[in-house]
């Protein structure tokens, strides 16, 4: 009987401690993609990325045009070419084809690097604002709903308006 009372008392204490711990937790959520899209710096960065991509595209288009021209010239004159000249022209076309593929790969990697380089300061600014808002408003946890991790959230804990206000975004 005494053991039962002690066990029951321990259970009540443990339950009340757990309940109190849960009450002190304040969680919030934010969709970081929405925040990044709303930040005015994003428009400038997006324009820079598009301009850079267009520069790369112009170079690739010029290389492709040169390739098409060489292939067309080869096809139209191959009947009158000697074997040595044919081999040289085929090698030129093959080399150009290889350069185009290498340029495409390098350009894609370079564009991704440039995008990351330009976006990182904006991401850091948003992260700092989120942390500041969480601390200022007593949140113990903020979930990013854009990652798909959150299974349920109460909309009254959306801190996007607070972070936008902190950043001066309307």
- Tens of pLDDT along 4-43? 455 444 544 454 444 444 456 788 889 999 999 999 999 9
How confident is residue 150, by pLDDT bands cut at 50, 70 and 90?
Answer: low
How confident is residue 116, by pLDDT bands cut at 50, 70 and 90?
Answer: very high
Q: What is the β-pairing status of strands 27-30 and 141-144?
A: parallel
Residue pair 111/49 in contact (Cβ under 8 Å)? The answer is yes
Using one digit for the tens of pLDDT, what is the confidence trace for 131-145? 899 889 988 888 888
pTM given for the model = 0.68
How confident is residue 119, by pLDDT bands cut at 50, 70 and 90?
Answer: very high
In the predicted structure, residue 169 carries a pLDDT above the cut 50: yes
Query: What's the confidence (pLDDT) of residue 25?
Result: 78
Concatenated DSSP letters of the chain: -HHHHHHHHHHHHHHHHHHHHHHT--EEEE-HHHHHHHSHHHHHHHHHHHHHHHHHHHHHHHHHHHHHHHHHHHHHHGGGS-HHHHHHHHHHHHHHHHHHHHHHHHHHHHHHHHHHHHHHHHHHHHHHHHHHHHHHTT-SEEEEGGGT--S---GGGB-HHHHHHHHT--
Handedness of CA 52, 58, 64, 67 (dihedral sign): negative
- Return the structure tokens found at 7: 């066990």
- Topology, domain 2-167: Protein Binding, DinI Protein; Chain A (3.30.910)
Query: What's the confidence (pLDDT) of residue 98?
Result: 97
Sequence ranges of the domains in the chain = 2-167
**Mean pLDDT highest for which of 16-30, 45-59, 156-170?**
45-59
Using one digit for the tens of pLDDT, what is the confidence trace for 61-102? 999 999 999 999 999 999 999 999 999 999 999 999 999 999
**What length does the chain have?**
170
């Amino acid at each position: 009987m005494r053991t039962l009372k002690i066990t029951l008392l321990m259970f009540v204490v443990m339950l009340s401690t757990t309940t109190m711990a849960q009450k002190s937790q304040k969680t919030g959520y934010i969709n970081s993609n929405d925040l990044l899209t709303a930040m005015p710096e994003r428009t400038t960065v997006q324009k820079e990325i598009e301009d850079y991509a267009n520069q790369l595209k112009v170079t690739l288009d010029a290389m492709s045009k040169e390739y098409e021209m060489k292939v067309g010239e080869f096809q139209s004159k191959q009947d009158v070419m000697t074997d040595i000249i044919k081999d040289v022209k085929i090698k030129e076309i093959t080399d150009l084809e290889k350069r185009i593929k290498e340029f495409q790969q390098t350009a894609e990697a370079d564009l991704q690097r440039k995008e990351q380089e330009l976006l990182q300061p904006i991401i850091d600014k948003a992260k700092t604002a989120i942390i500041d808002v969480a601390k200022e408003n007593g949140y113990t946890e903020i979930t990013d709903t854009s990652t798909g991790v959150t299974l349920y959230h109460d909309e009254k804990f959306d801190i996007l308006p607070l972070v936008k206000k902190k950043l001066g975004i309307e």
